[in-house]
Structure 1
Amino acid sequence: MTTNYIIIDDEYIAHDIIKKYCDMLPNMNLVKNCYDAIEALEFLNTSTTVDLIFLDLNMPKLKGFQFLRTLQKPPKVIVTTAYKEHALEGYELDIVDYLLKPFSFERLLKAVNKAFYQETNTISSSQQEDEIQRMFIRSNKKHIQVTLNDILYFEASKNYIKVVLKDETITIREKITSLANILPQNSFLQVHRSFIVAVKHIQSIEGNQIFISDNSIPIGKLYREKIVELLNN
């Protein structure tokens, strides 16, 4: 199946690089080079189907995300930019991937695969994540066995940590740095100096906040790149 794509970027060299990489892939069809977002809007209003947009952010007339917000039913979008600080905002707008210039052919290939060709792996990955694992935690002079799948997040306060589970909260005497070293890294992510969250229980990410159940958890400045990596996988 042919994938029709457009490039929106005010730099001619960016168009050349993206087209060169896409020409190395089967069934990628460039239908329009747009050098600002206004030109892209006019084309999208009159064109045939566009499946994918390669979108720069820092453009004259209308910025990339401002343009994206004007689209009622946007096609899949891969951001291509030199500015990494806008990554979280991009994922809030449901972009497929965020490529930092200069990027390699392999990095663009990964983004295109994410857009169209990786859905078949979803079931097997979910089954692996649902395997039941347990750990013992010490609280009030006794050891309590908890299922990792029931843990929503950990919150540190001085030398104590609150273990927030689906149905209860347990307080343990531990340092969060020590806890981070023993938790499965593919299941838990430290997002703040005082918080570790269970990745599978994240409901949404908005700005500098992670939402799990009825709880809002801050994202620390030093941990923002970890969130970007999580959204980029």
Structure 2
Amino acid sequence: MLKFIIVDDEPLAHEVITELCHIIPHIELVHNCYSAMEAMQFLNEHKVDFMFMDINMPKLKGLDFLKTLSQPPKTIITTAYKEYALEGYELNVVDYLLKPFSFDRLVKAVNKVSKLQTSKPLIQEVSNSNTNPTSLFVKGDKKYLQIDLNDLLYIEAYGNYTKLFLKNEMFISHEKISYYETILNEDSFLRVHKSFIVAINKIKFIEGNRILINEHKIPIGQTYKSIVNRLYNN
């Protein structure tokens, strides 16, 4: 059993990581730390195998805290700030997760810890080349929502945000559309316009320069027409 702690000043982040890790066998959450100082005190008195650590915390930043530890536990960074990735890897962190992250991505990070400890993965990873992840945690207004990707119809750019249209609701995410184009499986989701990504299996029909999904009409951008054509000209 690998023991771990979570170091993050956001209670919601603790909830998300705890819920995801509860699914993974052979790892155990032993303490929640809401500041680097609290984590420092805990690690002075207890030994853990690894920790999830945020970077942007008050008083003492995550990476500065990591530098103070002579024998730090294996560390998985969880942050919304990708610009610190290089510095994190220079400190020998195991993995760097950009919020919001999927369960599959977290599994890969935990498996890296396990392989360093035991040379065996804790849980079988889901390969994006073979199958889609079934859900994704999405950051919204002061909360993370777990999206069932089977319910996702399409995504629309909304300035620096995005609108995620599900079967029965719409959710605004604090991520740009380019983020979703990167993480979603290209066999299941297709960029059809600079402002739209659609779920391929939800397309009812394609007519001219538009796609119909349920009652929603999505335009096809001129530069994306050849990509859309491949759906029916194989």
TM-score by length of 1: 0.50
From the two aligned structures, give the one with the greater helix fraction.
1
TM-score normalised by the chain length of structure 2: 0.49
